[in-house]
Amino acid sequence: MQSWLQGTRAQGDEEAAGEAARRLAFLRLGRGPKPRRASLAERVVPAGEAAPEPPPKVPEPPKIKEPLSVLEILSLIQQRELARADEHILELEAEELASSGGGAPGPPKAEGAGGGRRARDVALLYEALQRELWALVRETLAGPGPGAGAGARAVAQLGQVLVQEEAADGRRGPEAARKLRARWAEAVARAARERLEAAAPGAPGGLAGQLEALRGRLLEDMGVVRGRLAPSYPAGLGAFGVYLRGYHGALAEWIGAAARRRLPLADRYALLHWHNQVYPREVLGLVDMVALENGELEPLLSPGTLRGLEDECVTDVKAQTRAALLRVLQEDEEHWASAEDPSSSLAQDVCELLEEHTERAPRISQEFGERMAHCCLGGLAEFLQSFQQRVERFHENPGVRELLPDTYISRTISLVNCGPPLRALAERLARVGPPESEPAREAAASALDRVTRLCHRILTDLLFQELQPHFSKLMRRKWLSGSEALDGIVGTLGAKALALRRMQDEPYQELVAELHRRALVEYVRPLFRGRLRCGSARTRSRVAGRLREDAAQLQRLFRRLESQASWLDAVVPRLAEVLRLEDTPSIQMEVGMLVRDYPDIRRKHVAALLDIRGLHHTVARHEILAVARDLELSEGGSLLPPRDRAFFADIPVPRPPFCLSLPLFLGRLSLSRLACLPWPRPPSPSPSRPRAQH
């Protein structure tokens, strides 16, 4: 019942509220719209009059920026808000300067005490700021380097601090300038020094390994600077150049300290090569830097220090190579008299010892290469002179006769084979070295020439001792009817030539040419001894034919042996023609060609040929000899040819008994022909012995 009463009451309230709302709406329609409330200006200014201009706004006074406390500035520094911290330090410094420089003439009491505290606060804040700045320099080098984000902002703030402080230095004056930019460069140099010192000690391989570690650290750090650090600095600071000079200076200190130590030869080579080649080419060569073009970087080592290192290298090389060369020679000499026949590596060992230095030095610098070549050439010349003396003692030693002939020949060939590579080395060093290297080259060549000539003479004598029985059968009547003697000569020479093939090409050619010359000398020597007398034309024709056949056979032999002495091919055929021809003009022509081709032929040789052919007619004989004499005088026959071109000089001619036979028609000869006659010398009168009377 109660609930029903409450519902009836609520329904009545709602109906009363709706009725009241309808009444209010009806009243509004009757009064019309609500009039607009006039503004304050409309109430003050009457209607119809213009409103006055609004009064101008008075600017509010600037809010005074409260300076930060020292602790707040220090907190900014610790949070690496370096640029903001520096700004507040500059403000604090300006306040300190203003308080100390203004006011009454006398120093204010309270203010003076506060100004002193502010000066100390400024100094302490600058110390804290610089500690963070230089720590940031070290950290950015030691880490991977800031690229974007906080790291780049920190480096940018460092650069901004430097710019702000440089501007402040302009206001402070030169005496009060803090010069943070210069201190920044010093901090970069210290960080670079720490980085290089940390890289070098742990590197394996001695100084060369340490230098390689330095190269790697330089390339790594300069790559970080160029790619990440330098772009974060303001452009006007030239950050890349500062870092490059810092590393260059730190490297110069490290290299200079290494150069002052007593280094072994290998480390000195490594240091010089790294200084002259590796650092300029593989480090600085990869840096695109204006400082390099302007020459702002000083050399790592002074010219005097470099010269001292080179001098020490040359001195050590001279001492070490001399001892090593003598040791190698001594070891090789111990096997010379051995019955065994081991292959000798003497020349190869010598070349390797010297080329180790002559190849490394030019890679450091051209001048150093020239000095090293001169040094090594001098050592090589001394070695070759000692080598020559020991070879001579070896061949003079009676004990070598106990060696088998083949072993002795093989040992001699191995000594000769040392010549070509050592001669080529001496020539190469002389070309590389300075002009004053020529005497050493000549001394080296002279020693090798003596060794080669001695060994060639030994081999030639051994061979011709074996050939001598065959040569003794030449120019006899049996020789005319058979070829036994020459077949023995050709067979022995051909067999022995197989052993000579082991000789190097250059000395082999010289030896074969000497064998060629010596064989023909020994072949014609019996002819000039007068073993044959060709009184008839038939006999002369047989002898000449035999000479031509033997000459052709010998020529074929030496062509197989690759003899280059082709100048010897004509000697025996021309002698055969002198014997074969019958008319005097033809004989004169052949004699003239002999004198032209073989300048060492003398009239005694021509006379011996005429004796062999039985030409005793005085007029024809002297006409032929006159040709030889005239050609000797006109061609300078008194000058002997070189030793390797001598032929008739090695052929002695027996001296026939003197017999003067003048024809009755001697008066018809010309004076030039009379001058050719061998006139006898009258004996000189002696005062103690009167001339005999007949």
Contact 244, 289 (CB under 8 A): yes
User: Could you tell me the pLDDT band of residue 10, with boundaries at 50, 70 and 90?
Assistant: very low
Find where tokens 């050939």 sit: 467
* Residue ranges in 103-172 assigned as alpha helix (H): 109-142, 150-172
Give the closest residue to 416 by CA, choosing from 355, 358, 328, 499.
Answer: 499
Contact 576, 547 (CB under 8 A): yes
Query: How much is the average pLDDT of 415-441?
Result: 95
For 637, the 3-state DSSP assignment is: coil
Can you give the residue ranges of every domain in the chain? 70-98+116-297, 304-457, 503-659
Chain segment 92-137, per-residue pLDDT in tens: 888 877 776 643 333 333 444 455 777 888 889 889 988 989 999 9
Q: What pLDDT score was predicted for residue 542?
A: 92
Contact 432, 375 (CB under 8 A): no
- Using alpha carbons only, give the angle 131, 136, 139 rounded to the nearest 5 degrees: 125
Q: What pLDDT score was predicted for residue 117?
A: 79
Q: What pLDDT score was predicted for residue 658?
A: 43
How far CA 550 is from CA of 302, 479, 493, 581, 664, in Å, comes to: 76, 11, 14, 19, 42
Q: What pLDDT score was predicted for residue 680?
A: 38
Contact 277, 364 (CB under 8 A): yes
Task: Count helices and strands (H / E) in the chain.
Answer: 26, 0
Q: Is the pLDDT of residue 64 over 60?
A: no
Q: Is the pLDDT of residue 261 over 70?
A: yes
Is the entire prediction scored with pTM above 0.75?
no
Contact 178, 168 (CB under 8 A): yes
Question: What secondary structure, in 3-state letters, does 591-635 show?
Answer: HHHHHHHCCCCCHHHHHHHHHHCCCCCHHHHHHHHHHHHHHHHHC
Contact 590, 581 (CB under 8 A): yes
| 442 membership: H or E segment, kind and range | helix 438-471
DSSP 8-state assignment for residue 416: H
Q: What pLDDT score was predicted for residue 69?
A: 82
Domain 304-457 has what CATH class? Answer: mainly alpha
Chain segment 508-530, per-residue pLDDT in tens: 999 999 999 999 999 999 999 88
Count of residues making up the chain: 694
Chain segment 347-374, per-residue pLDDT in tens: 999 999 999 999 999 999 999 999 999 9
Residues 364 and 373: their CA atoms lie apart, in Å, by: 13
Residues 228 and 676: their CA atoms lie apart, in Å, by: 103
User: Could you tell me the pLDDT band of residue 684, with boundaries at 50, 70 and 90?
Assistant: very low
Q: Which residues contact 193 (CB under 8 A, 6 or more apart)?
A: 250, 253, 254
User: Could you tell me the pLDDT band of residue 531, with boundaries at 50, 70 and 90?
Assistant: confident
